């Protein structure tokens, strides 16, 4: 109905940044991270894990705590940790009032691509009215003992404004399971769909989204086995119906959940409801 469409039109002055792409790398990073988090959360709610075929095994990383050198906030800092392995990015919950000794005890599991033996870690102070402040970072090489099957509980030095390896320490517990020891059916090989930006170098923000040359995409949609008379998992009408119910969730996130739930509309709605309630 024309009247319904008119009711959806925004009335009043447009914001100053309408239809403008910010050149601020920090703003671009925040927008990209929000998109990444939505896709990851949708896939986790659906209970599906997608990886590529070029995988050495599964790496379990427990981010336990940190001992930071300085408090950079006006009050106590609210630190959270972001960690990147290969092309996958994960975040811990925020340790509110964690100050110089934040505790997370967050365990993340990711698939370690063949040839990748390191991770890049950053610690941010969550801010309410300004951009989150990055206060520490480090580049960690996965020890060979971990790749050989040992569980390692160790402290790693952090770099930051105080200097190289002078911003404190972070405690990680690392465990690696080779691909041949993983249970059958624990992952599927997907069809590439999208990639995320690459890190230019330690201590720098991500660049705007670019294809990863010679690398594997991160967030991908599963490739279903071919059948002779397989009906579509969803239609454009299905997507639009769910989009009307969840206007704040991007279309590609909804499509990802549809694929994960094999087109089961009720299961898709339940997953998105659960995702929305967690935000």
Which CATH number covers residue 38? 1.10.8
* Global pTM value: 0.53
**Residue 97 sits in the same domain as residue 151:** yes
- Confidence band (pLDDT; 50, 70, 90) for 151? very high
In-domain check, residue 156:
yes
Question: Domain range holding 258?
Answer: 32-49+190-197+234-279
CA neighbor of 40 nearest in space, from 107, 110, 133: 110
Question: Are 37 and 84 within one domain?
Answer: no
Three-state DSSP class for residue 119: strand
Q: Does the residue 153 lie in any domain?
A: yes
The answer to whether 173 touches 108, Cβ cutoff 8 Å, is no
- Tokens standing for 30? 């925040």
Q: Is the pLDDT confidence value at 57 over 70?
A: yes
pLDDT at 10: 53
pLDDT score, position 163? 94
pLDDT of residue 128: 86
| pLDDT tens-digit series, residues 110-135 | 888 888 999 999 999 999 888 999 99
In a domain, 10, yes or no: no
Residues 78 and 101 in one domain: yes
Number of domains in the chain: 2
**258 pLDDT tier (thresholds 50, 70, 90):** confident
- Verify that 39 and 88 share a domain, yes or no: no
Beta bridge partners of 157: 169
Asked if residue 139 is part of any domain, the answer here is yes
Grade residue 268 by pLDDT with cuts at 50, 70 and 90. Answer: confident
Same domain, 37 and 143: no
């Amino acid at each position: 109905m024309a009247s319904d469409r008119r009711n959806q039109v925004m009335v009043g002055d447009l914001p100053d940044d309408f239809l403008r792409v910010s050149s601020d790398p920090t703003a671009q990073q925040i927008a990209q991270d929000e998109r990444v988090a939505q896709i990851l959360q949708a896939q986790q709610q659906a209970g599906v894990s997608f990886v590529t075929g070029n995988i050495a095994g599964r790496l379990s990383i427990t981010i336990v705590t940190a001992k930071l050198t300085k408090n950079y906030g006006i009050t106590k800092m609210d630190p959270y940790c972001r960690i990147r392995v290969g092309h996958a990015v994960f975040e811990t919950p925020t340790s509110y009032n964690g100050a110089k000794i934040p505790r997370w005890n967050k365990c993340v599991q990711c698939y370690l691509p063949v040839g990748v033996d390191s991770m890049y870690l950053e610690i941010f102070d969550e801010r309410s009215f300004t951009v989150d402040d990055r206060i520490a970072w480090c580049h960690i090489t996965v020890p060979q003992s971990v790749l050989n099957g040992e569980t390692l509980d160790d402290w790693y030095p952090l770099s930051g404004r105080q200097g190289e390896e002078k911003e404190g320490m972070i405690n990680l517990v690392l465990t690696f399971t080779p691909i041949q020891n993983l249970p059958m059916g624990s992952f599927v090989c997907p069809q590439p769909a999208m990639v995320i930006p690459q890190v230019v170098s330690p201590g720098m923000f991500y660049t705007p989204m670019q294809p990863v040359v010679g690398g594997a995409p991160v967030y991908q949609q599963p490739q279903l086995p071919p059948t002779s008379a397989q009906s579509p998992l969803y239609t454009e009408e299905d997507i639009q119906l769910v989009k009307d119910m969840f206007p704040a969730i991007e279309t590609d996130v909804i499509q990802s959940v549809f694929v994960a739930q094999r087109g089961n509309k009720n299961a898709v709605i339940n997953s998105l409801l659960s995702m929305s309630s967690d935000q």
